Each structure stands twice: as structure tokens, then as C-alpha cells.
A and B are shown apart, each in its own frame.
Chain A
Amino acid sequence: MNTLAISIGSNVALGIVLLAVLYRRRGPDEVRLADPVDALRHYRSVDPAAQGRALLASDGRAALLELDDGRLGLVERRGRRWAARELQAVEIAGIAAADDGMITLRFADFGWPRARVRIEDPALRRRWLDRLDALRAGAVAGSSVRREAHDA
């Protein structure tokens, strides 16, 4: 029992030391997408053959992609790394736009509940909101739309 107590106590102490080290050496918050090629390169982690167009968020922390086969994609910063996903109609639970240009996507995905993409240009933001709304509306009509587009 003494060993267990020592182990637990030491683990807590070690955890505190570790977090203190990491907090002191956390570094500047400077991870940004460099350009659309960078965005597509990150997207290729989920679709190695993807080609298409990319719109970088104004703050460089995310990108929306229009792939050549008609599908849509998303790349978003997660800490100092990047996460990517295809935007599928059935997974989009909500879309909201704020006055500051932030588009918030809510996903029916427990491992990725929401994403934020800031698009300050009103015309571009409107275009993408329409695109996303149309995608989501397609879920009501049937999720096979995406697949047919892909096959075509």
C-alpha cells in the first residue's frame, strides 16, 4: 500500500512538473496555413489523390476546399497540428455565421463537434454559406448525391 501511495503521489508531482515545463516552453501561437497548396497538402491526409481549390480562412487557421470531383473539404488547425475532413451532408448538424466573418460548422461527430472558419470578405463568405447550405439541404434529399457526383 505504501508503494501505491508513493506511486500515486509521485505521479501527481511528476504531472505538475511536466505541465509547468510545457507551460513555460509552450512557444508562440504562430501555426498558420501558408497557402492553398499547404491546405490541400494537409487535406491529402484523408484523400491522398485529392485535387481542387482551396480558400484560406482570413486568420490562416482553417481552409475550405472545393475538390475537382465536386466534394467539399475542410482543414482546421488543432493545436500545432492540422485535422482534415470531407464535408458530408449527413454530418453537418448546423451552420452559423457571425458578423465578424466567423462561420461555425457543427458536426454530428463526437470526435470533432465543431469547426470555425473566418472569412472576412462578405462575398466569399456568402458564396460559401450558400454552398454549405446547399450541401446540407442535399442530406434531406438523400446522401447519395455526393456519391453520384464523385462517380461522375
Chain B
Amino acid sequence: MPDPIYMEAALLVQLALLFLIPLEAALAAAGKIKGEYELRDTLANIGVSVGSLFFWGTLGWMYYGGVLYAYAHRLYDIPFTGWSFAVAFVLEDLRYYWFHRISHRSRWFWASHVVHHSSQHYNLSTNLRQSWTSQFSGLTLLGIPLAFIGFNPALVALAFTINLLYQFWIHTESIDKMPRWFEWLLNTPSHHRVHHASNPRYLDANYTGVFMIWDRIFGSFVAERADEPPRYGIVKNLGTFNPVRIALHEYYAIARDLMRRDLTVWQRIGYFFGPPGWSHDGSRATTTELRAAAAASVPAQSRSAASDLADSAPTVTEYRYSG
């Protein structure tokens, strides 16, 4: 298990960071900074947070147990030093990148992670909206290789915790851009706003936890554009503020798809592990297809398009009730 002194320090840092939430809410409400809070949305965030803490508290041993087991069978003895911590921190960030990317690209893992993206608001309280089921999904197994190589579990846990704490401050609209070198090297509010956006251009982008270099290397970096403000939330937004529904809705949807009688084994596997939005008959759209459709209907939606946004106003032949 992690050294208690580090966990104590992490708790204190977390506490200090949490003080920023009511501060941001008050300043945003007063119009001093950019940002928006909504009572029901924030209540939902708090409710989801309570469940997430409960499941981490009761099932966190599954993650730490795996790390300890791997460390017991480690390949090398890596000392606990500043350098080993630096290396572990970079490797942990690489692990986070792939954990995060898989969480978006495969429906079983997305069912766990979608919780964090389900708010249509973007503020510091969005941090509270975390998965209830990360212990079940299996992706925590990605934390094991570091311990198996020989990094001390306390060091692995410290790197993991600092990575998560770093990501707290980037959930805000109150900071526009950081200095250019900072934006190139590190994850920032601007980069992470793109990650939380459901605009087709911004889908499946900016998975990094701390170092933006991973997104640049693996081709998933997308810059925020001044002419296209992020539209937060998921492609098909939820119609509820109920924390239980928020936390578990995608599992219900997977179960419904798997219970269909007219599917082959491969189609069932597709509904389980395929990309979110995949369907055997093409009746739904994946994020890749949505990006392509948007690019086809509005050429400037293409990530590579350099031109300004075309006028995409819908043409409506409508009737309207006016009684």
C-alpha cells in the first residue's frame, strides 16, 4: 500500500484544491470570471462523487492488490529516488494516455468513463463526476506494469495521485490560454476543454493527463479554436440529473443491445467492445462517422481544414405552434 505520509499529503492537497470550487462558483456567478454553474448539475456531480468515493474506498484494494502482486514478482529493484520518481511519473502519464484513449474508443470501458463526460457544464466541480466502476472495467490492470518492472508501489501510487491532482485545475473556463511553451508541453484548460467537447471537430482528442507530447506523438492532438467554442457533454446527452442513472446508464444500454435475439456472436462482441455508437446495422454513428458526416456537410468541420467556418445555419421549412 502507498506510504501513509503521501496519502496524507495528497488528502491535504485535494482539500486545498476543493476550496477552489465554491470560489470559482462565486466569482463566475458575480461575472468576475468566465464560467457557469448550475445547481442541479453540481448536485449531480456531488452525488456521483459520493458513489465514486464509496466504490474506490471499498474496491480500491483490487487496484492496489494487483500492483502489490506485480511488485512481488518484479523484474528489477528500482530504488525510490528523485530520478526514479521522475521516470515513473512520465511512464505513469503514458499509461494514463492509453487508459484514457481506450476508455473513449471501446464501449465497455466507455461505459465506465462516460460518467465524467456526461455534464453539459465545464467547471471545477466537473472533477467530482467520476466513474463508479473503474475497478470492474479491467483497465486498472494497466497500472500493474510499472510495479512489475520494479517501481515501488508507493512511488507508483504517488505518480498516479499527482497525475490526477494535476488534472483538477484544467477543468475550468476561467483560464483562456497559458503561455505558448506551456500549451505546447503540458495539458491546459484549453486543451482539456476540447477533450470535453462534443463538437464533431473536437471528438476523440486530447487524451493526455499531464504531458501533451503523447497526443502529439500519437496523432490525437486538436487545438481549441476561437471560432468554435466547445459544446460540452456527450454526443447523445443525458435526460437526467440522477447520479445513479448518470453512473450506470451505458451499462443498461449495453445490456439491452446484448439481449437482442437477432445478433451473431461477433455482433454481440461489437456491441460490447466496439467503439461507442457502433451498431450491426449502421443505424447509429460512431464518433469517427460523426466527424466524417460533419466534415461532409460543413467542409470547415474537417480537423485539417484551414478555412473559416462556413455558414452552417440549418435551413428549416417549419411549422410553429403559436396558439
Chain A contacts to B: CB under 8 angstroms = 3-4, 6-7, 10-11, 14-15, 17-19, 21-23, 25-26, 35-37, 40-41, 44-58, 76, 78-85, 88, 107-115, 119-121, 124, 143-144, 146-147
Contacts and interface: CB of A to CB of B under 8 A. Distances in A.
B239 A113 contact: yes
A83 B238 contact: yes
Interface stretch (B69-77, B99-107, B173-181, B242-250): B242-250
Contacts of B323: 58, 120-121
B164 interface: no
B293 A48 contact: yes
Given A44-B314, A51-B314, 11 more contacts: A4-B11, A7-B12, A18-B21, A37-B318, A53-B317, A54-B318, A56-B321, A83-B237, A111-B253, A112-B240, A114-B239
Contacts of A11: 15, 18
A96 B309 CA distance: 42
A107 B38 CA distance: 25
Given A3-B11, A14-B22, A40 B239 contact: no
Contacts of A25: 25-26, 29-30
B39 A22 contact: yes
A109 to B, nearest CB: 7
Given A78-B239, A110-B252, A146-B283, A21 B319 contact: no
B14 A110 contact: no
Given A19-B42, A35-B320, A36-B318, A111 B249 contact: yes
Contacts of B281: 144, 147
A48 B8 CA distance: 48
B198 A45 contact: yes
A50 B252 CA distance: 27
Nearest to B121: A81
Interface in B41-69: 41-43, 46
17 contacts: A7-B15, A14-B22, A18-B21, A22-B29, A26-B38, A36-B318, A36-B320, A45-B235, A48-B200, A48-B298, A49-B293, A51-B315, A51-B316, A109-B253, A110-B248, A111-B239, A113-B239
Given A51-B314, A53-B317, A109-B249, A15 B236 contact: no
A147 B281 CA distance: 9
A37 B316 contact: yes
B112 to A, nearest CB: 14
Interface residues of B, number: 65
A38 to B, nearest CB: 9
Contacts of A21: 22, 25-26, 29
Nearest to A118: B321
Given A3-B11, A7-B11, A49 B296 contact: yes
B290 A48 contact: yes
Given A48-B290, A146-B283, A53 B15 contact: no
B120 interface: yes
B83 interface: no
Given A14-B18, A112-B238, A50 B314 contact: yes
B233 interface: yes
A113 B29 contact: no
A37 B22 CA distance: 36
B40 interface: yes
B111 to A, nearest CB: 11
A114 to B, nearest CB: 8
B316 A40 contact: yes
A58 B321 contact: yes
Contacts of B278: none
Interface string B263-299: 0000000000000000001110000001001101110
